[in-house]
């Protein structure tokens, strides 16, 4: 079973959810701004995703600077407390799936943790192709 910590106002989160659904699976959708994860679950997701607490904090469009969270002296515990008190500080979307936990920025990172294949073409909201007609990931060349 796949769980997404989702913000419907976020395009990356919407694209990630759509990629999960493109496998034919209906995930558990937790709107984390309404129902934040517990301290234990938040710490576990960050750890399982291989991130530091600072990497899991969202700065853009949040009270990050106003709360002084850019202070390098703040402990991980203080940062976690801020995230729990202000869930908008939790970067998104986190996906917990059979093959692991991932902060899906960009959204196609979700493909690394999904067990089921993509069923059809998929294009992100901004028009970027992610999955081709054969259900394969589109490779970007720089």
Q: What is the DSSP letter of 50?
A: T
* Residues paired with residue 95 on neighbouring β-strands, in sequence order: 4, 102
Q: Are 89 and 69 contacting, i.e. CB atoms less than 8 angstroms apart? A: yes
- In the set 2, 4, 5, 10, the catalytic residue is 10
The whole-angstrom separation of Cα 77 and Cα 60 is 21
Collapsing DSSP to helix, strand or coil, 88 comes out as: helix
First-to-last CA distance in the chain?
A: 35
How many helices (H) and strands (E) the chain has is answered by 3, 6
Residue 44 parent element (H or E): helix 39-48
The whole-angstrom separation of Cα 42 and Cα 83 is 9
Our answer to whether residue 104 is catalytic in this structure is: no
Residues that are catalytic: 10
């Amino acid at each position: 079973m796949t769980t997404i910590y989702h913000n419907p106002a976020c395009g990356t989160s919407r694209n990630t959810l759509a990629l999960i659904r493109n496998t034919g699976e209906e995930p558990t959708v937790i709107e984390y701004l309404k129902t934040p994860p517990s301290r234990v679950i938040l710490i576990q997701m960050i750890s399982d995703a291989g991130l530091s607490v600072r990497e899991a904090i969202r700065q853009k469009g949040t009270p990050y600077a106003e709360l002084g969270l850019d202070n390098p002296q703040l402990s991980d515990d203080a940062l976690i407390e801020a995230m729990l008190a202000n869930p908008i500080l939790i970067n998104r979307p986190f996906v917990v799936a059979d093959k692991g936990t991932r902060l899906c920025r960009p959204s196609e990172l979700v493909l690394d943790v999904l067990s089921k294949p993509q069923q059809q073409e998929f294009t992100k909201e901004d028009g970027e192709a992610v999955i081709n007609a054969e259900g394969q990931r589109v490779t970007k060349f720089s």
